[in-house]
Structure 1
Amino acid sequence: MHSQNNIPVLVKRLEHFEGLELPDYATDGAAGMDVLAAEDVTLAPGARHAVATGLAVAIPPGYEIQVRPRSGLALKHGITVPNTPGTIDSDYRGELKVILINLGAADFAVRRGDRIAQLVLAPVVRATWLKVDELDETLRGEGGFGSTGGVVSLGS
């Protein structure tokens, strides 16, 4: 049985997943599940790699899985997910891989079994386009990048 807070996701464990644990929540209040690397790889500074997890999933229609960085890896080592959040669509059936990039100054070794990212199951709302000739006016108007200020050191 499941509730809106417990949505079943089918998961297939690939051959190179053997001996690893399924993604899991570290605490009761965690939004993301930690996912593990299923391979060893060393990331040089500036390098990126799609790290295998050894898992394939069937996400229910109307949902996605978002792939997000782990804050400790980002802060301590400069290791992050460059397409944050990455999206795994409900119709994708290939291996779940996590694109990692090393923004740090030193090589970083990812070892099989390391927690490399977080997975967040999220509902998807699809849009439809309604063509119009004019949009309503707002105080902000067409003000874009940086137009609302916020960077004290730049005087804006």
Structure 2
Amino acid sequence: MDRKPITVLTTILREGAKLPLYGTEMSAGADISACLENDIILEPGSYVKIPTGLSIQIPQGYEGQVRPRSGLAAKHGITVLNSPGTIDADYRGE
């Protein structure tokens, strides 16, 4: 798949954070991972913010999107609350 290269600056905020990676050559987006200090127990009907340990700087004119993993959503009902979650180019938080 031909991709137009862009630079997304990434800052590691927590020890153990993993950089985003494309799972396959044809992946539409990069996968991010949770960066947890302790296990999280998610009760039915509740929600929680999951830290990534990363801050990214998206170029102006672009956006990032956080989408649920289809397997987690289908098998366990775990999803992104405001799916897809938008990361604006000027957002610098975790």
Q: Report the TM-score, using the length of structure 1 for normalisation.
A: 0.55
Q: Which has the larger radius of gyration?
A: 1
> Is 1:34 aligned with 2:35?
no
Cα drift, residue 4 of structure 1: 5.6
* Alignment map for 1:10-25 (pairs within 5 Å): 10-14=9-13, 16=14, 18-25=15-22
> Is 1:57 aligned with 2:56?
yes
Deviations 1:76-118 (A, max 9, x none): 11110110110011111111xxxxxxxxxxxxxxxxxxxxxxx
Cα drift, residue 21 of structure 1: 2.2
Contact 2:67 2:80 in 1 (8 A): yes
Tell me the SS of whatever aligns to 1:50.
coil
Cα drift, residue 26 of structure 1: 0.6
- How many pairs were matched up? 91
Percent identity at matched positions? 57
Q: Which amino acid aligns with 1:63?
A: Y
Q: Which amino acid aligns with 1:26?
A: G
Contact 2:17 2:54 in 1 (8 A): no
Q: Gapped runs of 5+ residues in structure 1?
A: 96-156
* Alignment map for 1:89-100 (pairs within 5 Å): 89-95=88-94
Aligned mates of 2:3, 2:35 — CA distance in 1 = 30
Aligned CA RMSD, in angstroms, stands at: 1.5
Aligned mates of 1:21, 1:56 — CA distance in 2 = 11
Tell me the SS of whatever aligns to 2:48.
strand
* Alignment map for 1:110-149 (pairs within 5 Å): none
